[in-house]
Amino acid sequence: MEVTTVMGASLMIGSSIFLYIVALIIVLAFFGYLTYRVSPKGKARREERRNRRK
């Protein structure tokens, strides 16, 4: 009985760490996308591309 409790606890801890890492990656990707969109260099690059097409 004791072994299954310990195993369950370690599984819960492991999955929570995995979920935490996944959430961290999602947040980093989101902020990276936001900073890329807002950054002036990216804006200038997009305007250049738009002007080149015309």
How many angstroms separate the CA atoms of 23 and 29, rounded? 10
User: What is the per-residue pLDDT for 42?
Assistant: 67
User: What is the per-residue pLDDT for 26?
Assistant: 96
Is 5 inside a domain boundary? no
Is 49 inside a domain boundary? yes
User: What is the per-residue pLDDT for 30?
Assistant: 92
One digit per residue, pLDDT tens: the chain, 54 residues? Answer: 566 777 777 777 777 888 899 999 999 999 988 887 777 676 777 777 788 876
DSSP 8-class letter at 39: S
- The terminus-to-terminus CA distance of the chain in angstroms comes to 73
What sign for the dihedral angle of Cα 37, 40, 43, 45? negative
Boundaries of domain holding 39: 23-54
Q: How many separate domains does the chain show?
A: 1
